[in-house]
Chain A
């Protein structure tokens, strides 16, 4: 069975062109870029090229890019650095809907003397900027808010936030792993101090990420050791993965318009058709600005894992905010923070598209999902009166 892969916010296919670009750097061009011989030097040139390509996608300068192992490392490096740079400041502002890479770190830091403010979101997943303004004080070392939410695709007003944070003298970090490659970014005109990105969310392999660090922003390295990455991230460069990330960023820039036209149209058609064909469904984050590729849709009276298992029978790969897929027992912290009603919090499904998604694949989902929801509702003890009306 050929898979219909609509789980691109979890991870993406490595683009064939990206794989070709990195392939020689395993068995043939395996030199260490730090070495003082031609063999390492030629790899150094490719690493430089990759840095230029990543910087170009972000509208940044090459020396503002630090390669890391993943988005999680970038997040940890940014937040921990701010605490070291401002030893007298112990307050961090973040939100209730952040990725665990930020949220777990902040909650751990709260046990070690830091004060954490987790901003709330409204029912559409939007921040209240007045709450942000009230939370900022002279003790605030860093504000870390995601660019776009991985579960709902809701985009935060990052530049407005950045301006408020700057006015208070704190650092501003954004976890942009879901945004990079999907919406245009320009660090040259931005208020962002630090930005995390992850390769495997934009058709590069797993195990490579980057931290954008604005020139002039003070920084203390997370990993110490060698002089790599201008002593800002020690450890021998993952050359093949870095080269892959560079190529992936180049391709992302080329496909940016397609992402915001063709992919967006596919997502909108999927959303429209599912709402038309399935009663008692609602869009999570529907009232907010969202990523072009993400659709989080909740179905009342049925449970998410059961939906995913039946979709999987048709080769359709999606994800859910359901507790039962994760082994935890509460629906996703994002949906709970949004106050999604309990009648459908357990029945939310996320479809996340990519530039590889086709019309025919979306047709299949539109055809197969309604009978799946109907079948599970027939098994469910809930919602009978409402559904037969």
Chain B
């Protein structure tokens, strides 16, 4: 049984704002019967067409899908369209006191429906993640089962700081059916993380021992471990003796036949980013 918060249960049992708005200014639809969940969001604006005065929803889905829809409508009432566009899936989840990670896609669905509704109202391009409905798709379809594009996945990966393919599935459903796109999702994660890496400063000049140890730790945390996570692996820093860095592999890396290769990769990364004299040794620990 899912560990739903009391607030999720309360919004599921007593959902707010269920129904349609007959002369709605904006309507956003995402999902389908085949996908297992779907949300139709109705928005009514004030006379100046700036501020949301009413929001209603119809949802087909599990308990957290209904609760997320209810939360979304409560959150956007009274906001201007621009303010509403700033609502993130994380804020929807936080409003409910959190969602199980496997259910985060319900909060993403809420954010998507809102973006689609506002984009359609404004007449601009409709966001690319509209699950293959009648709208024009932007970007390349990555997950064929759920009709999700690379642009949408990049955005969710970056904004939720996702670092494994499994997390991407939990947040977007991508890769959750046939699994054929999981290698592509891993590439996207590496690309998004790589872009974040580019912003980091390059290798510094001469270092004190203390600074070198700090830098080794930082580099492992920020640059190396996320890449291992992407493949279900991990490592732990055991000790640093001068320029000799001792690490132990964890999770999928532990006992992996190519862990020797991974150790060399870690060493090269530390040489590049910290100091040329670093050696990496794999130890039991």
CB distance from B142 to the nearest CB of A (A): 15
Q: How far is the CA of A302 from the CA of B169 in the complex (A)?
A: 22
Which B10-24 residues have C-beta < 8 A from chain A?
Answer: 12-13, 15, 18
CB distance from A96 to the nearest CB of B (A): 15
CB distance from A205 to the nearest CB of B (A): 21
Answer yes or no: B80 CB below 8 A from chain A CBs.
Answer: no
Contact status A381-B18, CB under 8 Å: no
Q: How far is the CA of A310 from the CA of B34 in the complex (A)?
A: 22
CB distance from B64 to the nearest CB of A (A): 8
B36: which of A310, A346, A381 is its contact (CB, 8 Å)?
A346
- Chain A residues with a Cβ closer than 8 Å to the other chain, count: 26
Answer yes or no: A329 CB below 8 A from chain B CBs.
Answer: yes
Answer yes or no: B98 CB below 8 A from chain A CBs.
Answer: no
| In the complex, chain B residues whose CB is within 8 Å of the CB of A108 | none
| In the complex, chain A residues whose CB is within 8 Å of the CB of B36 | 303, 322-324, 329-331, 346
| In the complex, chain A residues whose CB is within 8 Å of the CB of B9 | 309
Contact status A381-B66, CB under 8 Å: no
* A379-B62 contact in complex given A324-B37, A327-B102, A329-B177, C-beta closer than 8 Å: no
Chain B, interface residues (CB within 8 Å), range:
20 to 34
| In the complex, chain B residues whose CB is within 8 Å of the CB of A322 | 36, 62
CB-CB nearest in chain A for B69? A379
CB distance from B173 to the nearest CB of A (A): 5
B66: which of A306, A313, A323 is its contact (CB, 8 Å)?
A306
| In the complex, chain B residues whose CB is within 8 Å of the CB of A302 | 60
Answer yes or no: A342 CB below 8 A from chain B CBs.
Answer: yes
Contact status A303-B13, CB under 8 Å: no
**Per-residue A-contact encoding for B139-173, CB less than 8 Å = 1, 0 else:** 00000001000000000000000000000010001
CB distance from B241 to the nearest CB of A (A): 42
| In the complex, chain B residues whose CB is within 8 Å of the CB of A331 | 36
CB-CB nearest in chain B for A302? B60
Q: How far is the CA of A327 from the CA of B60 in the complex (A)?
A: 17
Contact status A306-B176, CB under 8 Å: no
| In the complex, chain B residues whose CB is within 8 Å of the CB of A306 | 12, 61-63, 65-66
Answer yes or no: B58 CB below 8 A from chain A CBs.
Answer: yes
Contact status A309-B34, CB under 8 Å: no
| In the complex, chain A residues whose CB is within 8 Å of the CB of B169 | 329
Answer yes or no: B88 CB below 8 A from chain A CBs.
Answer: no
Answer yes or no: B33 CB below 8 A from chain A CBs.
Answer: yes
Contact status B65-A303, CB under 8 Å: yes
CB distance from B120 to the nearest CB of A (A): 16
Q: How far is the CA of A310 from the CA of B176 in the complex (A)?
A: 26
**Per-residue B-contact encoding for A297-311, CB less than 8 Å = 1, 0 else:** 000011111100110
| In the complex, chain B residues whose CB is within 8 Å of the CB of A378 | 18
Q: How far is the CA of A327 from the CA of B99 in the complex (A)?
A: 13
CB-CB nearest in chain B for A323? B36
A381: which of B34, B60, B102, B173 is its contact (CB, 8 Å)?
B60
* A330-B176 contact in complex given A342-B34, A378-B18, A379-B18, C-beta closer than 8 Å: yes
Q: How far is the CA of A185 from the CA of B62 in the complex (A)?
A: 40
A380: which of B60, B102, B146 is its contact (CB, 8 Å)?
B60
A residues within 8 Å of B by Cβ?
301-306, 309-310, 313, 322-325, 327-331, 342-343, 346, 378-382
A322-B36, A325-B62 given; name 18 further pairs at CB < 8 Å.
Answer: A303-B61, A304-B62, A306-B61, A306-B62, A306-B66, A309-B63, A322-B62, A324-B61, A324-B62, A329-B36, A329-B146, A330-B176, A378-B18, A379-B18, A379-B59, A381-B58, A381-B60, A382-B33
Q: List the 10 shortest-distance A-B pairs measured between CB atoms, nearest first.
A: A329-B176, A324-B62, A381-B58, A305-B62, A381-B40, A327-B102, A342-B34, A380-B60, A309-B63, A346-B36
Instruction: Show 6 A/B contacts (Cβ-Cβ < 8 Å), sorted by A.
Output: A301-B60, A302-B60, A324-B65, A330-B176, A381-B38, A381-B60
